[in-house]
């Protein structure tokens, strides 16, 4: 697949040719006699994008809900109001990697959790750090993320 990612003023080209379906030769049949599933076909206005989210606790040791959205806002109480955005419930560091088919244009990834970035009386800070990468290119990182402050990264697929 031919893929270009615009970051700021720079243009980064990635990938191969647009995927297409083709008949599988006999030698490509798997052991059970069935061919592997066909490769997906994308329109010229769509690209497969690799999204990586690296998350770690900074001052918090309590299990938290972690959520992410693409091209829509993440509510402060996303774990209740947008349960489909929850990607993890943990007190440990984790990495979340997935691919997403996006149309050509500008997109936004937003990450948040149920901790608190601001200090809470009697509890201190309950914040987390996170880094967002698009096609293995770091876009943004911050160590003060909670329900009161999300991490947002905008990027352009071309």
pLDDT by 10s per residue, the chain, length 158: 444 444 433 323 333 333 333 444 555 555 566 766 666 666 788 999 999 999 999 999 999 999 999 999 999 999 999 999 999 999 999 999 999 999 999 999 999 999 998 888 888 888 899 999 999 999 999 999 999 899 999 999 98
Q: Report yes or no on 151 lying in a domain.
A: yes
Which three-class secondary structure state does DSSP give residue 83? helix
With respect to residue 153, please indicate whether it lies within any of the assigned structural domains: yes
Residue 14 lies in a domain: no
| Domain region containing 96 | 45-157
Is-contact 155 133, C-beta < 8 A?
no
Neighbours of 75 (CB within 10 A): 16
Element (H, E) at 4: strand 2-7
Number of structural domains (the chain) is 1
- Tell me, yes or no, whether 77 lies in a domain: yes
Confirm whether 40 is domain-assigned: no
Whether residue 70 contacts residue 51, with contact meaning beta carbons closer than 8 Å, is answered with yes
Residue 69: which of 138, 12, 154 has the closest Cα? 154
Tell me whether residue 30 is in a domain. no
Domain membership of residue 29 (yes or no) is no
The reply to whether 58 falls in a domain is yes
CA 30 to chain centre: 32
Enter the tokens of residue 22.
């083709």
CA-nearest of 91, 87, 86, 89 to 62 is 91
């Amino acid at each position: 697949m031919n893929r270009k990612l615009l970051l700021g003023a720079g243009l980064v080209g990635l990938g191969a040719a647009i995927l297409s379906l083709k008949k599988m030769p006999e030698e490509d049949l798997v052991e059970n006699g069935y061919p592997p599933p066909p490769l997906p076909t994308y329109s010229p206005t769509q690209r497969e994008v690799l999204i990586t989210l690296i998350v770690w606790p900074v001052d918090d040791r309590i299990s938290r809900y972690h959520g992410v959205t693409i091209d829509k806002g993440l509510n402060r109480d996303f774990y209740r109001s947008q349960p489909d955005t929850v990607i993890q419930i943990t007190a440990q560091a984790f990495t979340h990697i997935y691919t997403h088919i996006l149309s050509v244009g500008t997109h936004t990834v937003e990450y948040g959790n149920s901790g608190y970035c601001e200090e809470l009386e009697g509890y201190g800070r309950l914040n987390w750090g996170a880094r967002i990468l698009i096609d293995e290119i770091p876009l943004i990182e911050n160590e003060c993320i909670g329900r009161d402050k999300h991490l947002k990264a905008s990027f352009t697929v071309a």
